[in-house]
Amino acid sequence: MEITNTEMAAAWEGEADHWVRAADRYDSAAAVAWRSFLDQGHVAATDRVLDVGCGTGQSSRDVALLAAAGSVLGVDINKRMIDEAAVRTRRAGLANVRYELADAQVHRFDLATFDLVISRYGVMFFADRLAAFTNLAAALCPGGRLAMLVWQALDRNPWLAELRAALAVGRQLPSPTVGAPGPFGLADTDATAAMLTEAGYMSIAFVPIEAPMQLGRDAEDAWEYVSGMGLYRGLTAGLGETAEADAIANVKQLISDHTTSTGVMVESASWSITAVRRPA
């Protein structure tokens, strides 16, 4: 497999164990936003779908149920996640899904093969966004569609902003750069629209989706999930005993503040971005 996005590949390799162990939690966390996205009707029954950044495969399986007379190819840059996706898909008994280990920025997909490229929070991490989306456009049939769920800016996502604040413990944390590879790589609508236009798409649209993130079924479940996140581990590494204790107390208070009868729920904001490949 050719990989150009080596920095992100290494980052996801470091996260793979936790993502596989906590796959059900990651899937349930953003389930409300993902269902709202799917309910917009992006997937047709006969679609040939490419799912980019499929992780452990829940997005591919959900799409496969909608494209029951079509097919789904899920691709991801991490082998552990792809292997887990394949296991879960066999257990689900879905025959119209397959997976490949691939860096979608440079992978040589068959040209004009897919009716739809879709992604659930998987397309914000490309080192070269223009190259990646140009490559994906080439994989779409002329008139094929792009539909992706991505995060809006950090200040629109309390689930992450509040967690970062809880872990800061007196430090001034650098803000993630909008447009750089990472969670907010496509948060700027003007920049993203310009990039997609240059990459070969038209009819570009952004629809906001605001939905609660479920950090856990209850406070104990949320603490187990959050304390295993790469963000938590990264921001507590090297803290002194007192600062670490403060960080733990802050996170547990955040969890308590957001505990409801339906779980630990914190607001989030995403973009549903759609586009159409321009005719050749």
Model confidence pLDDT, tens digit, residues 190-202? 999 999 999 999 9
* CATH code for residues 6-154+176-215+266-277: 3.40.50.150
Q: Where are the domains of the chain?
A: 6-154+176-215+266-277
pLDDT on residue 275: 98
Give the whole-angstrom CA distance, residue 29 versus residue 213. Answer: 5
pTM, 2 dp: 0.93
Contacts 24+ apart (CB under 8 A), 158-162: 158/266, 158/267, 158/268, 159/213, 159/215, 159/266, 159/267, 159/268, 160/231, 160/268, 162/254, 162/266
Sign of CA dihedral 11, 12, 13, 18: positive
Tell whether the model's pLDDT for residue 7 goes beyond 80: no
- The SS3 of residue 149 is strand
Give the whole-angstrom CA distance, residue 130 versus residue 138. Answer: 12
Tell whether the model's pLDDT for residue 8 goes beyond 80: no
Burial class for 155, CB neighbours closer than 10 Å (0-12, 13-18, 19+):
exposed
Angle (deg, nearest 10), helices 189-199 and 129-139: 50
pLDDT on residue 51: 98
Tell whether the model's pLDDT for residue 18 goes beyond 90: no
